[in-house]
Amino acid sequence: MTARHPARKPRSPQRGPATATGATRRASGIREPGVGPSERLQKVLAAVGLGSRRDMEDFIRAGRIQVNGAMATLGMRVGARDRVLLDGREIRQAPGAVPRVLLYHKPEGEIVSRDDPEGRPSVFDRLPRLAGARWLNIGRLDFNTSGLLLFTTSGELAHRFAHPSFEFDREYAVRTRGELSKEEAAQLQRGVELDDGSARVEALAAAGGEGANRWYRVVLREGRNRVVRRLFEAVGHPVSRLIRVRFGPLSLPPRLRRGQSRELLPAEMTALLHAIGATLPPAVNRRPDRPAPSEKPGPRRRSSSAR
C-alpha cells in the first residue's frame, strides 16, 4: 500500500517587499517600534545640558545632529538605545538624571558669556568644573549689575525659569540718585513706555539711604535687557547700583560672598522643582544629602586680551 503524503498548503500571495531589518532601520535613522519609551530629540538634548530646546532645534536645522547614522530632523523621537551624535561626538543620554542648580553671587565687572570679543572676565571662569555636562545660565545680569545668578545642567529647567510665560518674579535692591516722589513711584507701578514696549514694577518699597543716594526694593516679572535701569532713568533717577537678591523662589544666600557659588542640595532641589511645577526624576531619592562642593571661587582663567 502506497503511503499518502499530507496535502501541501497553497502558498500565500506575496505581500510586497520585506520590511527593513533592525540594522537597516538603525542605519537609516528609523526607530524600531516598541523599543522602550521615547522623547523628542530636542527635549533629550536639552535635558543633558547642551542648551535650551531652541538651541537644540537650531543645531538640528544646521545638520549638527545625527541619530543612528542619519541626519536628525525636527520632531524626531529617540529612546535609550538610539545613538545620538553632536558634531560627530556621541551624546550619552542619562535617563532619570537629577538636574543640578548652582547659585552664584555675581560681582560687578563680569560678563554672562563664554565668548567676549573684548576679553572681559566671564562668570563661567569661576564656576565648578563639570564632567560630561556644562552649566547653563538662567537669564542674565548686565556687566555692571551684581547679585544672584542661577545656573543649571538642565536645558528644560533653564527654559522653564527664563520663559516669560512662567512669570517668575525678580527682586532687586536699587540705589538711585535722589528720592522718588509719590507720583514717580506711582508712575513706575502704573507703567512706563520704553523704546521696546511698556514695562512696570510689581512692587516698590523704600529701603533707606542718606544724602543723594536712596535705596529701594523692586520686584519685576520680566528680565528685559537693563529694564530696571531704564525704568528709573525714565522717571529722572539714574541707578548707581543694582543688585538682584531673588529670582522666583530662590534668594541670594546672605553668607555667599561675591564670586562664590553654592550648589543646591537634593532636598533643596526637591523643594525647588515642586515650587516651579517640574517633575523630579526618581533617581533623586537615591542621592544622599551631602554638602555641595567647596564654595571657594574657581581659578580665574584670564584671556590674553583681558583688561
Q: In which band, very low, low, confident or very high, does the pLDDT at 11 lie, cut at 50, 70 and 90?
A: low
pLDDT for the residue numbered 25: 46
Res. 68: pLDDT tops 80: yes
User: Is pLDDT above 90 for 291?
Assistant: no
Task: State residue 300's pLDDT score.
Answer: 53
Of the residues 91, 112, 141, which one is the last residue of a structural domain?
A: 91
| Number of domains forming the structure of the chain | 2
Domain boundary among 91, 118, 145: 91
Highest mean pLDDT among 73-82, 111-120, 231-240, 277-286: 231-240
Q: What is the average per-residue pLDDT within 15-43? A: 53
Residue 11 inside a domain? The answer is: no
Q: How far is CA 297 from CA 77, 257, 262, 300, in A?
A: 40, 9, 10, 8
Rounding to the nearest 10 degrees, give the CA dihedral for residues 107, 113, 119, 120.
Answer: -10
Which residues are designated catalytic?
142
Indicate the range of 101-115, 171-185, 280-294 predicted with least confidence: 280-294
The grid coordinates listed for 79 are 529612546
Q: 147 and 175 share a domain?
A: yes
Statement: residue 274 has pLDDT above 90: no
Q: Is residue 30 part of a domain?
A: yes
- Among residues 285, 264, 266, 305, which one has the least CA distance to residue 117? 305
Q: Which residue has the higher pLDDT, 291 or 123?
A: 123
**pLDDT above 70 for 126:** yes
- List the domain range (segments joined by +) for residue 212: 101-276
The lowest-confidence range among 45-54, 83-92, 134-143, 241-250 is 45-54
pLDDT tens, position by position, 185-201: 999 999 999 999 999 99
Place of cell 549689575: 145
**Confidence category of residue 149, pLDDT binned at 50, 70, 90:** very high
State which of 91, 111, 131 marks the end of a domain.
91
In this predicted structure, the answer to whether residue 20 has a pLDDT above a threshold of 70 is no
255-280 mean pLDDT: 87
- Say if 304 falls within a structural domain: no
**Distance from CA of residue 173 to its chain's centroid?**
24
Whether residue 37 sits in one domain with residue 108: no
CATH number at residue 31: 3.10.290.10
pLDDT value of residue 277: 75
Same-domain check for residues 126 and 183: yes
| pLDDT of residue 177 exceeding 70 | yes
Say if residue 86 is in the same domain as residue 109. no
Phi, psi of 165 (to 5 degrees): -65, -25
Mark 181-219 as b/e (b = at least 16 C-beta within 10 Å): eeebbebbeeebeeeeeebbbeebeeeeeeeeebbbebe
> What distance in Å separates the CA atoms of residue 199 and residue 209, rounded to the nearest whole number?
25
User: How high is the pLDDT of residue 159?
Assistant: 79
Looking at residue 4, its pLDDT comes to: 54
pLDDT digits (tens, 9 = 90+) for 152-164: 988 878 877 877 7
Is there a single domain that holds both residue 126 and residue 263? Answer: yes
Q: Which residue has the higher pLDDT, 17 or 60?
A: 60
pLDDT of residue 18: 42
- Model pLDDT, residue 24: 43
Mean pLDDT of the chain: 80
How far apart are the C-alpha atoms of 199 and 190, rounded to whole Å?
Answer: 9
Q: What is the pLDDT of residue 115?
A: 87
- Is the pLDDT at 222 greater than 90? The verdict is no
Q: Please report whether residue 236 resides in a domain.
A: yes
